[in-house]
Amino acid sequence: MHLDARGLPLSTASAKAAAAFDHLITGYLTQRADTPTRLTALLEADPDFALAYCMQGYFAMLGFKQAVIPVAVEAARTAQSLAVDATERERSHIAALTAWIEGDLDRAVAWWESILRTHPHDVVAFRLAHFVNFWLGRPQDMVASVDRVIPAWSEDIPGYSVILACHSFAHEEAGNYLAAEPSGRRAIELDPGDLWAAHAVAHVMESQGRRSEGIEWVTTLAPNWEGSHNLQHHLWWHCALFKLEYGDHAAVLELYDTRFRNLAAPLTVASPDVYIDVQNAASALFRLERLGVDVGDRWEELADKAEARIGDCLSAFTLPHWLMALTATGRTAAAERMIEAMRAFANGRGTVHAIVRDYALPIAEAQLAHAAERHAEAVALMRPAIGGMYRLGGSHTQQDVLEQLFVDAALKAGSTADIRLALERVAGLRPIPPERFIGWRKAASRVAAGAL
């Protein structure tokens, strides 16, 4: 038995496998594009190492893609068969993976948190809990998780910058900007290539309207991202949003084509429909079109991919983005098929099934009505869902596109009460008023002028 880089026992007799495990976890924590290759090396180093197969299952589940679930199922089955000599902590990881595969994300998070109570240095359990809580719209749980473990960490422990980055992002999403920014900046000092830390501080700047700083922050750190995975695209999306606030539509489209939706880029070619990239692209195009910008045929490839993913509802927050592409390209029949598939999924049992039923489905129906210019109907369909649509996951910045969808329908329906409702909601999510954001200026000015 060997110890990992943070002193936790590993049930492998192979020193080579122990080193490969550390190399894999470093790749996962630092968002390296070669993480799958690192996993292959680990499995080859010790084909009987249960935790290695558990990691294979985790990585499959991280993709939020129905087509790769069989990989996770087989990995969990193999891990379980090899777990006779595994540590209790490793068996808990296998139980967490099994719960995740079964759709019980609450049970999966509970397993990870139980691991952390005994092993606060289990950075895999910590990072996965942070990830899943984020995509379930639970910032307070993210805060509680990181605040519980951080006293056990120090700069002498490998991976500390990751803990700081998560501390930064969790507190940013909870509105604790004074706690968030110093942690993110310190993480960057420790590791200039830490994308999650860069992301967290970019969020602070976006929420506070610090656009020039945000552009400089992203562009200055970008040279450190060589070899990283698709999260770098998301950071360029943030840069595009900063430029959008200045009305620089040409720059936004250039970043779209060259940085966060470059169809010829190796990362995009390797994963052309990864959920975060789809969200980046669709929300950027939606925002631009609301401002009257001609986005050309950019929706088409997204709509093609949306049609191929009908019935895949594992990422609740991505579903409205798929619908954006289908409605923007006039593919009403495909949009209707996607909604029917969502209804079928919503009848299942699991954490995400209920979220799709209560939030993604009414929003999707509203999108279809809005595209057909039945704006009052769209408002009525979406209104009951907006109070809880944070449960779809995503950040406040990402969720803003759904808030804009609602206010756009309300503006076109001429509903003063709903425009006010939308403005009040957005005003409660950021420390600066809605009229300082370009997507909300029209609604704010219409209400202020009493034009409705």
Helical spans, DSSP H, in 102-230? 105-118, 123-135, 139-149, 160-173, 177-190, 195-207, 211-221
User: Which pair of tokens denotes residue 69?
Assistant: 């679930």
Question: Distance between CA 245 and CA 55 in Å, rounded?
Answer: 41
What pLDDT shows up at residue 93?
A: 98
The type of residue at 391 is R
Cα→Cα distances 178→40, 243, 446, Å: 41, 24, 33
What pLDDT shows up at residue 451?
A: 54
User: 334-353 burial by CB neighbour count: b if 16+ within 10 A, else e?
Assistant: bbeebbebbeebbeeeebbb
User: Which pair of tokens denotes residue 199?
Assistant: 């992301």
What pLDDT shows up at residue 304?
A: 98
> Contact 436/446 with Cβ under 8 angstroms?
no
Helix (H) or strand (E) holding 405: helix 396-413
What pLDDT shows up at residue 447?
A: 87
Nearest to 246 by CA among 407, 86, 436, 427: 436
Residue 287 pLDDT greater than 70, yes or no: yes
Question: Distance between CA 195 and CA 30 in Å, rounded?
Answer: 7
pLDDT digits (tens, 9 = 90+) for 318-352: 999 999 999 999 999 999 999 999 999 999 999 99
> Contact 136/130 with Cβ under 8 angstroms?
no
What pLDDT shows up at residue 283?
A: 98
pLDDT digits (tens, 9 = 90+) for 145-187: 999 999 999 999 999 999 999 999 999 999 999 999 999 999 9
Q: How many CB atoms lie within 10 A of CB 155?
A: 10
pLDDT digits (tens, 9 = 90+) for 5-48: 999 999 999 999 999 999 999 999 999 999 999 999 999 999 99
Q: How confident is the model at residue 448 (pLDDT cuts 50, 70, 90)?
A: confident
> Contact 38/59 with Cβ under 8 angstroms?
no
Write the CB contacts of 248 (distance below 8 Å, at least 6 apart in sequence).
Answer: none
Q: How confident is the model at residue 449 (pLDDT cuts 50, 70, 90)?
A: confident
Nearest to 262 by CA among 292, 290, 227, 237: 237
In this structure, the chain runs to a length of: 452
pLDDT digits (tens, 9 = 90+) for 397-428: 999 999 999 999 999 999 999 999 999 999 99
Average pLDDT, whole number, for the chain?
Answer: 97
What pLDDT shows up at residue 452?
A: 47
Which residue shows structure tokens 């492998």? 12
Nearest to 181 by CA among 155, 159, 154, 207: 207
Could you give phi then psi for residue 25, rounded to 5 degrees? -65, -35
Write the CB contacts of 81 (distance below 8 Å, at least 6 apart in sequence).
Answer: none
> Contact 164/148 with Cβ under 8 angstroms?
no
DSSP class of 370:
H
pLDDT digits (tens, 9 = 90+) for 87-141: 999 999 999 999 999 999 999 999 999 999 999 999 999 999 999 999 999 999 9
Write the CB contacts of 6 (distance below 8 Å, at least 6 apart in sequence).
Answer: 121, 122, 123, 157, 158, 159
pTM for the model stands at 0.97
What pLDDT shows up at residue 13?
A: 96
What pLDDT shows up at residue 391?
A: 97
pLDDT digits (tens, 9 = 90+) for 350-399: 999 999 999 999 999 999 999 999 999 999 999 999 999 999 999 999 99
